[in-house]
Amino acid sequence: MAEEDFGDKAPEGAHGSGQVGHVSVLLKEAIDFLAIRRGGSYIDATLGLGGHSLEIAKRLGPQGHLIGFDKDTHALELGRKRLAQMDVGEPPRITLLHSSFADIARHVPPGSADGLLADLGVSSLQFGDPARGFMFQAEGPLDMRMDPHGERTADQVVNHMREEDLANVIYEFGEERRSRRIARAIVRTRPIRNTAHLSQVISAALRSMKHGERIHPATRTFQAIRIFVNRELDDLKALMEAAPIVLKPGGRLVVISFHSLEDRIVKDALRDGVKAGLYSVLTKKPLAAGEEEIDRNPRSRSAKLRAAERT
Ligand SMILES: C[S@@+](CC[C@H](N)C(=O)[O-])C[C@H]1O[C@@H](n2cnc3c(N)ncnc32)[C@H](O)[C@@H]1O
């Protein structure tokens, strides 16, 4: 499977200092597929550090409208600052909302959007800040929430879930074959104190097994817990249901995913949308980042972009 890949280290500038260090993935390709119309209304479902939003906003003109969503209040604040510093003569109207993109149809009128972009997963700002608990290479709290007000935390999963349920989470959302062995080791060691401790427990549980893998042994388990904590796949399914409702005929949908579980949901939704006469697909095969982008930004290695037009 393809895991979300941040390389061995957190990306530069992504250490929770508030610096804008996130490098937008497939930026040019996403903007090209959105085919931005001056004066149009565009949704960035995953504002993050506003890299994609900024490029959209630059092309909209004063009659245009950019609507940005993010679950993470910190990302919204930084995205807002970045957009406010935008160096264009006449900026568009900008609305930023602290909400899951699962609820887009509650905020955006039906048939009103010329385009919708979703660049899924966590930003390097979130990933690279040990205090958010996403990093297995650093000591941080067992949190992993994108939304600081979210109900589920990694601590609940790691320290309180039944062993069988924990194994299922690790298997289902991490596609980790050794889920039972990992769950058993976690439950035997409880309480797990922090992310570094969790990572050690997983590594020790897998040490005796032969696996010449290029990824850290904790990668899949951390991904699984993060997906579960943030209900990422349910949110994505809800977004894919809402997209054809909020898009105008001719409106463009662009989704960038980072692992096979996400890509499958996008691919299936587009296929069903074509059958239902809602979309024509613009990317027969998903687009991937080129070598040069991968060298610059390890996170782009697992990216897949799919685009469609609302019919
Ligand atoms: C990969 S980053 C986006 C980066 C952005 N495109 C840029 O260029 O700076 C993904 C962002 O989406 C947010 N996010 C993830 N799932 C979300 C959801 N269900 N609803 C709203 N925001 C979400 C995360 O908090 C994160 O800030």
Q: What is the pLDDT of residues 270-284, one digit of tens each?
A: 999 999 999 999 999
Q: Over range 123-140, report the average pLDDT.
A: 94
Average pLDDT, the chain: 92
Q: Is cis: bond before 141, omega within 30 of 0?
A: no
pLDDT of the residue at 22 = 74
Long-range CB contact pairs, 140-144, < 8 A, 24+: 140/194, 140/195, 140/196, 141/194, 141/195, 142/192, 142/194, 142/195, 142/198, 144/222, 144/225, 144/226, 144/229, 144/230
Q: Are 237 and 223 in contact (CB under 8 A)?
A: no
Lowest mean pLDDT among 134-138, 182-186, 242-246: 134-138
- 244-263: per-residue pLDDT in tens? 999 999 999 999 999 999 99
Q: How many angstroms separate the alpha carbon of residue 278 from the centre of ligand 1?
A: 25
Closest to 131 in 3D by CA, of 143, 148, 147: 143
pLDDT of the residue at 212 = 65
pLDDT of the residue at 3 = 62
Give the pairing type, strands 247-257 and 113-119.
parallel
pLDDT of the residue at 89 = 81
Q: How many angstroms separate the alpha carbon of residue 163 from the centre of ligand 1?
A: 31
pLDDT for 117 beyond 50: yes
Q: How many angstroms separate the alpha carbon of residue 292 from the centre of ligand 1?
A: 24
The whole-angstrom separation of Cα 288 and Cα 66 is 26
> Which is the closest atom of ligand 1 to the Cα of 236?
19
Question: Residue 13: which pLDDT band, with cuts at 50, 70 and 90?
Answer: very low
pLDDT of the residue at 215 = 86
More confident: 7 or 141: 141
